[in-house]
Amino acid sequence: MIAAPDALITTCAALSLSVRAVGGAIGYSIYYNIFAGKLKVKLPALVAEYAIKAGLPLAQAELFVVTYLTAPTEVSKLPGITAEILEGALTGSQWAYAESLRYVWYTSIAFGICAMIAAAFIPNTKKFQTNRVAVAL
């Protein structure tokens, strides 16, 4: 908008906002799909791992994980489930979320690098930077 003619400032502002909104929606979709894909793999594995470390018998692991992830209110009704096992499953869930979110940050680094490269190619706008106010609010 710095270099836009006075008659097109509102059009440039509207286009800028539209591009940001569409870019944000696309970015959110990318981030969500990465997060959900990683979580789908890591959540059952880490819940089982931490629950087994807390004392869950290996033979009950599959039933426990399925119940814990699909009907968490029913998990305490399973035979042999202790507070330590539930605490272990909770810790596994927390680590699964944390490890899955890591990949979203890695992806944002790539977007950041692309933005910096694009910014390096912006031409000099010094000739447009004056004290003239096109539209007073």
56 phi, psi to nearest 5 deg: -70, 130
Domain boundaries, the chain: 32-121
Q: Name the nearest CA neighbour of 89 among 118, 122, 55.
A: 55
Taking the C-alpha atoms of residue 37 and residue 102, their distance in angstroms, rounded to an integer, is: 12
Task: Spell 43-76 as b/e; 16+ CB within 10 A means b.
Answer: bbebbbbbbbebebeeebbeebbebbeeeeeebe
Give the tens place of pLDDT for each residue, 60-80: 999 999 999 999 999 989 999
Instruction: Determine whether 99 is exposed, middle or buried from the number of CB atoms within 10 Å of its CB (0-12, 13-18, 19+).
Output: middle
The confidence score (pLDDT) of residue 51 equals: 97
Taking the C-alpha atoms of residue 63 and residue 83, their distance in angstroms, rounded to an integer, is: 17
Give the tens place of pLDDT for each residue, 21-75: 999 999 999 999 999 999 999 999 999 999 999 999 999 999 999 999 999 999 9
| Both tokens assigned to 117 | 């490269």
